[in-house]
């Protein structure tokens, strides 16, 4: 769990990105994707790093990067988020609320959750933001499969979901969600700044879900959150091990792109 700055293997060794390199994946059109494990890091520090990397990426001073990390407890909300979805938060929750430039409503990050920030030059990838969201979903779904959890996307409800076997995936509906028969295991939200993406996904590995109860996660009234540990009934692997899987799978999808984009 080294926070030691290490040089990336990119073309510009003068830019130092902290963390442990997990993988460097050769992407289509030869844009390498560097995946790094940062360990536990405060939200503000990670945000500053993201901003720095986005700026560098835009200026051509760094390559596409996938940062994998874990946050101290924090609530974040997208700019389009609704205040009422935070209404359950007392003043003494102990976790900060940060309004940030990503899509989506309020969510919670904390220990036991694997966060992935994808800092990619979307312009080099055709610039289709929905496609990028689908790629993130697909990568997280692959990662979950490697962790023994069958998960899926839900058209119109970006994120990654786990459904009870009785639920027909074609017919997941609001009621299933409220009844907890379809549960959210990973949240997704991105920002695009001058063609470069930031933010990404948050996958619940093994964490206390109580902080979600104080908010309306993603603005979805009645949504049930879940974790890998809950779904498998076993302790989840260590965060760093899960990060290595995410580097391989999310990184892999981002590097090769989705062959078929689900409509």
> What is the residue whose two structure tokens read 């080294």?
2
According to the binding rule CB under 8 A, does residue 87 interact with another protein?
no
| Residue numbers 128-167 binding another protein by CB under 8 A | 128-133, 158-159, 166
By CB under 8 A, the residues from 180 to 219 that bind another protein are 180-181, 188-196, 198-199
The whole-angstrom separation of Cα 147 and Cα 205 is 9
**Range 223-242, binding another protein (CB under 8 A):** 224
Query: Coil, helix or strand for 46?
Result: helix
Tell which residue, 205, 224, 198, has the closest CA to residue 76. 198
120 scored as a contact of another protein (CB under 8 A): no
**How many residues comprise the chain?**
263
Closer residue to another protein in complex, CB, 169/222: 222
Mark whether 218 is an active-site residue. yes
- In DSSP terms, which residues pair with 19 in a beta bridge? none
- Distance separating alpha carbons of residues 111 and 113, to the nearest angstrom: 6
For residue 99, give every residue at least 6 positions away whose Cβ sits within 8 Å of its Cβ, in sequence order, or none.
76, 77, 78, 79, 81
Tell me the window of 25-33, 44-52, 83-91, 139-147 that interacts with another protein (CB under 8 A): 44-52
Q: Is 106 helix (H, G, I), strand (E, B) or coil?
A: coil
Of the candidates 49, 160, 216, 218, the residue annotated as catalytic is 218
List interacting residues with another protein (CB under 8 A).
47, 50-52, 54-55, 58-60, 78-80, 98-104, 122-123, 127-133, 158-159, 166, 168, 171, 173-175, 178-181, 188-196, 198-199, 222, 224, 263
């Amino acid at each position: 769990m080294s926070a030691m700055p290490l040089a990336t293997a990119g073309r510009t060794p003068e830019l130092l990105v902290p963390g442990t390199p997990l993988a460097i994946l050769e992407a289509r059109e030869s844009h390498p994707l560097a995946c790094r494990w940062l360990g536990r890091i405060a939200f503000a520090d990670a945000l500053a790093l993201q901003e720095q990397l986005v700026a560098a990426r835009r200026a051509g001073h760094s390559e596409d990067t996938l940062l994998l990390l874990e946050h101290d407890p924090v609530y974040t909300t997208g700019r389009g988020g609704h205040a009422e979805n935070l209404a359950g938060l007392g003043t003494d929750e102990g976790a900060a609320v940060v309004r940030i430039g990503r899509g989506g409503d309020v969510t919670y990050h904390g220990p036991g959750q694997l966060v992935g920030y994808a800092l990619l030059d979307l312009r080099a990838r055709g610039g289709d933001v929905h496609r990028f969201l689908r790629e993130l979903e697909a990568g997280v779904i692959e990662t979950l499969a490697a962790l023994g959890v069958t998960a899926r996307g839900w058209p119109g409800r970006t994120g990654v979901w786990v459904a009870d076997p009785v639920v027909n995936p074609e017919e997941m509906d609001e009621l299933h969600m409220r009844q907890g028969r379809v549960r959210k295991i990973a949240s997704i939200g991105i920002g695009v700044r001058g063609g470069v993406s930031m933010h990404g996904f948050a996958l619940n590995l093994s964490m206390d879900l109580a902080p979600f109860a104080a908010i309306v996660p993603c603005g979805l009234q009645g949504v049930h959150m879940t974790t890998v540990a809950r779904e498998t009934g076993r302790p989840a692997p260590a965060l760093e091990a899960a990060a290595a899987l995410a580097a391989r799978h999310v990184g892999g999808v981002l590097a090769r792109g989705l062959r078929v984009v689900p409509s």
